[in-house]
């Protein structure tokens, strides 16, 4: 998925779990149909959503602390998909550590990322400047991720856009790792 492109989220229980919180942060939360009773895909999505809400809280603490190594630990050894190519883990590491890079700017702030009007200057600034920040969990359609889809999180605050795009993950050896490039890919 291209950075900045909104994933196609599947409806389901996760939106219902977060709808009350989002309603307090947004002017109007869209209605989401209730999942069918006993639907195993929705049950699995609900379990994944609970894990990713906790992961969002961990990521928030890591980003607020400026912990580059913690983010880098979530980048697979084989790199991140970026359209038809792969961004090597070593490049991600360099860019997360470079004060002038776009990637560092999105996460921690700096001159490499110039936010559009109404968008937080970085995720770190979003967390520091907003009293309430919600973790929104959604599932992007992805055949490789199975019927549940690819789980993604997005941070939301009232009146302030999130820099970048939702962060998407996959579970590998019991850990949630980024699946897509953190860069704008076309």
Question: How does pLDDT run across 139-150, given as a tens digit for each residue?
Answer: 988 888 889 999
Per the model's pLDDT, the better-predicted residue between 15 and 150 turns out to be 150
What are the structural domain ranges in the chain? 13-22+40-178
Q: Which of 33-37, 90-94, 157-161 has the lowest mean pLDDT?
A: 33-37
For residues 183 and 172, give the distance between their C-alpha atoms in angstroms, rounded to a whole number: 21
Burial track 18-31 (b if 16+ CB lie within 10 A, e otherwise): bbebeeebeeeeee
pLDDT digit string (tens) for 25-82?
A: 333 334 444 555 678 999 999 999 999 999 999 999 999 999 999 999 999 999 998 8
Local confidence band at 180 (pLDDT 50, 70, 90 cut-offs): confident
pLDDT at 170: 92
* Cβ atoms within 10 Å, residue 141: 11
**pTM metric for this prediction:** 0.77
pLDDT at 144: 83
For residues 107 and 182, give the distance between their C-alpha atoms in angstroms, rounded to a whole number: 10
Task: Note whether 79 and 86 are within 8 A (CB).
Answer: yes
């Amino acid at each position: 998925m291209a950075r900045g492109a909104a994933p196609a989220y599947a409806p389901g229980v996760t939106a219902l779990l977060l709808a009350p919180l989002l309603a307090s942060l947004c002017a109007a939360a869209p209605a989401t149909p209730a999942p069918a009773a006993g639907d195993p895909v929705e049950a699995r999505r609900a379990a994944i959503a609970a894990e990713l809400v906790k992961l969002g809280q961990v990521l928030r603490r890591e980003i607020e602390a400026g912990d580059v190594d913690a983010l880098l630990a979530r980048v697979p050894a084989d790199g991140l998909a970026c359209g038809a190519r792969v961004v090597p883990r070593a490049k991600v590491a360099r860019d997360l550590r470079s004060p002038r890079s776009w990637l560092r700017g999105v996460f921690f702030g700096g001159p490499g990322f110039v936010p559009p009007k109404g968008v937080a200057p970085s995720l770190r600034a979003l967390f520091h400047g907003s009293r309430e920040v919600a973790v929104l969990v959604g599932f992007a359609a992805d055949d490789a991720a199975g019927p549940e889809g690819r789980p993604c999180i997005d941070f939301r605050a009232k009146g302030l856009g999130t820099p970048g795009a939702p962060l998407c993950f996959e579970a590998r050896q019991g850990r949630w790792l980024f699946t897509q490039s953190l860069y704008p890919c076309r």
